[in-house]
A and B are shown apart, each in its own frame.
Chain A
Amino acid sequence: RKEVEQDPGPFNVPEGATVAFNCTYSNSASQSFFWYRQDCRKEPKLLMSVYSSGNEDGRFTAQLNRASQYISLLIRDSKLSDSATYLCVVGGGKLIFGQGTELSVKP
């Protein structure tokens, strides 16, 4: 089993759609959780940290369920500029990256 596993992509959605990404992790001792965004052949950029209480930043909402070892990211009213690969990242000793889920938002 992979340490961090994400939905296989790609997700192709129209502008304005709501899209949800799911991620599970295997190490129950993990201490920190993030969503990163990566554009093709560029460095990952932090989108948001994820907390047990859930957190929201504009159109983006992240949730963490420690009991289920599950992390989610919801994007509402998707824009063309949201097209990228979304990486689920889990920390605790070292950062472990999921394989990423590619999102393509079409006009």
Chain B
Amino acid sequence: GAGVSQSPSNKVTEKGKDVELRCDPISGHTALYWYRQRLGQGLEFLIYFQGNSAPDKSGLPSDRFSAERTGESVSTLTIQRTQQEDSAVYLCASSRKAGRVTHFSSYNEQFFGPGTRLTVL
């Protein structure tokens, strides 16, 4: 079946412009995550959606960052007034359900999309 897809794969923008990044999760996955990966670094959590619950925005680095998700479908991450330090790969992940860690399973596995490489000039 289809995996997590993201678009665009690459985005080059000028400082001060707004950008929108899109994520299509795996069908049936209720949980959706956005992460940021700076060059040579691990992934940093940005925001999480679970069904129709209020999102967990605790990882967003500033109020220039926002994200939306309609139901259990597509999500859009928006960065306003981009800065050079926003340059990174933005990864989206989805999982079947976010819940208490279970035993003897990878039930909690998050499936990642290919990412969007954002370059702010």
Chain A bound to chain B? no
Chain B residues near A (Cβ < 8 Å): none
